[in-house]
Amino acid sequence: MRNLVLLLALLHLVTFTRSALGQSIKINEIMSSNSSAIADDDGDYSDWIELYNAGQETVQLEGWGLSDNYDNPFKWVFPEYNMKTGEYLLVWASGKDRRPVAGDWINGVMREVYPNISGTSLSNLIQHHSYPDNPGSFQIIKDKFEAPIDVADNYGQRMHGLLKAPATGNFIFWISSDDSG
């Protein structure tokens, strides 16, 4: 029942402000019972809503509302965000209320380094008290999706980013690791 209520309520993406009338932001997809499809940055499987800008212009979403409560249509309010034409946006219904990071790491990769992580298993990193909210350092990598290797002992790292191809076309991506398996 909760999932049905969430699904119906999410369909009330509030676009009824003067600036939003006539815009073409669409709810493209809803995951109202996410148990294994897509994980958020913390590895949690929260419900999500995917928006799509089907229009011919960039739309400023600041002040738009999203809610699972008909009587409170602005339960969650979008921060300043320009949604470009043809863009898809995944909005997590996790209750974490995260906002985009200030700065210009969009179209780059955020590398976070977690010192004093012993062991060789991924679980050593994700079970450490500093992960994911308190990296020892971070850097923004603009020219490649590649981290330095063997820069220290006993550390873990996480990389994530928002990349936009410079041109339309077909692209091939490779992921590699120095782990055997």
By the 10 Å C-beta count (0-12 exposed, 13-18 middle, 19+ buried), 117 is classed as buried
pLDDT single digits (tens) 20-46? 444 689 988 888 888 877 777 677 888
Query: 142-171: buried (b, 16+ CB within 10 Å) or exposed (e) per residue?
Result: eeeeeeeeeeeeeebbbeeeeeeeeeeeee
Query: Is the torsion defined by CA of 60, 62, 63, 69 positive or negative?
Result: positive
pLDDT single digits (tens) 64-121? 888 888 888 888 888 778 888 888 888 888 877 665 544 444 556 778 888 888 888 8
State the CB neighbour count (10 A cutoff) for residue 59.
Answer: 20
**pTM beyond 0.75:** no
Domain borders along the chain are 2-93, 108-162
Cα of first residue to Cα of last residue in the chain, in angstroms, is 41
Q: Which two tokens stand for residue 137?
A: 């350092």
Report the pLDDT value the prediction gives residue 176, as an integer from 0 to 100: 67
